[in-house]
Every structure is written in C-alpha cells, then in structure tokens.
Amino acid sequence: MKITALEEYGLRCLVCIAKREEDEPISARKIAEAEGLSLPYTQKLLRELSEGGIVEAQRGAHGGYYLARPVDEISLGDVMRQLDGMVELDEFCDEHTGQRESCVHVCNCSIRPVWARISKFLARTLDNIPISVLTEGEEEVEHYLGELSPPSQPDEEAWSAPATSHQTG
C-alpha cells in the first residue's frame, strides 16, 4: 500500500487537532507550524477534511479547526477514505484495463479475489482504529494494534494457510 503525502500530512493535521481540548479550536497557521508544512498546503488538507465532515472551522478572532464529531467516533478508515487512500476494488479493476475499454480478465480474474481480500482486510483494520488512539504515544499505539483481533466475519477464513496443497508432481 502506498501512502501519499496528502494522506500522511492530512492525518498528521487531524491528529494535531485531536490532541486539543474539544472546545479549543486551533488555527491552520499553528497546525502548519507544528507539522512543518506550508500554510496553503495545510489549508488544502483541512478543506479536504472539512468537506468530509471530519473537521469543522470556526471563524473569528478565536477561530480555527476542531473535530466535527467525538475523537472516538472518527476512524482511520474514515480519514483515509476522505483523503482518497482506500481504493475500492471496482475502481482498481476499472483503472487497469490496458489499452482496452475493460480488462481482458473481467469475466474470470484470478487476481481479483486477492485484491478483494486485501482490500476488505485493510478497510476493516483501518475502521477499527479510532483517531483517539493516534493521540497517544508510539508505544501505546503499538499495544492497541497488538490487541486488535483478526476478522471474525462468517465469510472470512482462518488466517492460516488452507490445509490443502497446490503442489504439482
């Protein structure tokens, strides 16, 4: 998975906001300074987050940005979707058609189930990480991630490889 600058810096700006008290907005300028970003780029990131209902802006002398909902109700998945960081399988297949209008494997693709499984796993994982966790230190985040359990959806198989072998000969 490739993380773009938009996703990384957008997430860093959001964490900067999330570390503040709920009733204490922070200016784009202060966020830019704290994260080592230009003010125009920070404003662009905050606009993206605002359009997705993740942050809100308060105008005025004591204005700035604050979270649009409680920090525990915003997941890393929400943020990544808003910043275009989670490609849906249909989008992936539509973007990789070679020189044709549609992929030559559209009816029988052996690769699609692999990307589908990885995509579902990634989405579930990111959806289970609230932004509040990212306001903690690195050690606490590592501990939280270690406590995440594997998916337990009925359609999911065990995490270990299947017992059958695909060996030839």
- pTM score: 0.78
Amino acid 159: pLDDT: 42
pLDDT at 60: 85
Cβ contact 75:126 at 8 Å: yes
List 66's β-bridge partners, or say none. Answer: 56
For domain 5-147, the CATH architecture is Orthogonal Bundle (1.10)
Question: What is the reported pLDDT for 65?
Answer: 96
**Which pLDDT belongs to residue 160?**
38
Q: Per-residue confidence of the chain (169 residues) as pLDDT tens digits?
A: 678 899 999 999 999 999 998 778 999 999 999 999 999 999 999 999 999 999 999 988 888 999 999 999 999 999 999 998 676 666 667 777 777 887 777 778 888 888 888 888 888 889 999 999 999 999 999 999 988 876 555 455 444 333 444 444 4
Residue ranges covered by each domain of the chain: 5-147
Q: How far apart are CA 8 and CA 135, in angstroms?
A: 15
Q: How far is CA 11 from CA 14, 70, 94, in A?
A: 5, 16, 27
Judge whether 1 and 76 are in contact, CB under 8 Å.
no
Q: Is the CA virtual torsion 1, 34, 69, 50 positive or negative?
A: negative
Rounded-to-integer distance, Cα 57 and Cα 64, Å: 6
CA distance from start to end of the chain: 35
